[in-house]
Amino acid sequence: MSRTADIDLAFERAVTVEAVVGALAGERWSLQEPLGVSYMVNNDGLFNWQSAPTDQVTQILALVDSPDNIHYHVGVCIYSSAAKTGGQLLFHAGRSHCSFTPTIDRRGLSEASRLTDIAWYLNKLVSPLLAIGLTGYEARDLAD
């Protein structure tokens, strides 16, 4: 049996990927993850994730934040090297909502490791995002 865990984040207005990544940097999240930098622009309906070297962060942020892509889902992976965990941030068209899915060395609960430690992720994500207009979230961890 597999698990699906995610946190949906709502903002009072549209945000940029760069603003969200910048806010999360205070909690030591970055775009640099074990594979380099991973990103996606869903302009063809395929959700085709790409990897790039870390020296291309500026170009990747420009691509995902381009006005030409505002009507498409875009995504980046974020990673905490201190905590050795991370996941995908998927920004919905219009950019007032995004979802975080822990996909890189997901943290489990100490008492039940197959369940996601959603509280840990919320503590690391919510506080820094309040400064850029986070208005709410919905979190879930479900068996598929």
**Per-residue pLDDT tens digits for 2-39:** 778 999 999 999 999 999 999 999 999 999 998 899 99
pLDDT digits (tens, 9 = 90+) for 43-76: 888 899 999 999 999 999 999 999 999 999 999 9
Residues 6 or more apart in contact with residue 133 via CB below 8 angstroms? 11, 12, 13, 15
Percent of the chain with pLDDT over 90: 88
Residues in the chain: 144
pLDDT of 143: 83
**Span 123-139, mean pLDDT?**
97
Residue 1 pLDDT greater than 70, yes or no: no
Question: ∠ CA 51-52-54 to the nearest 5 degrees?
Answer: 130
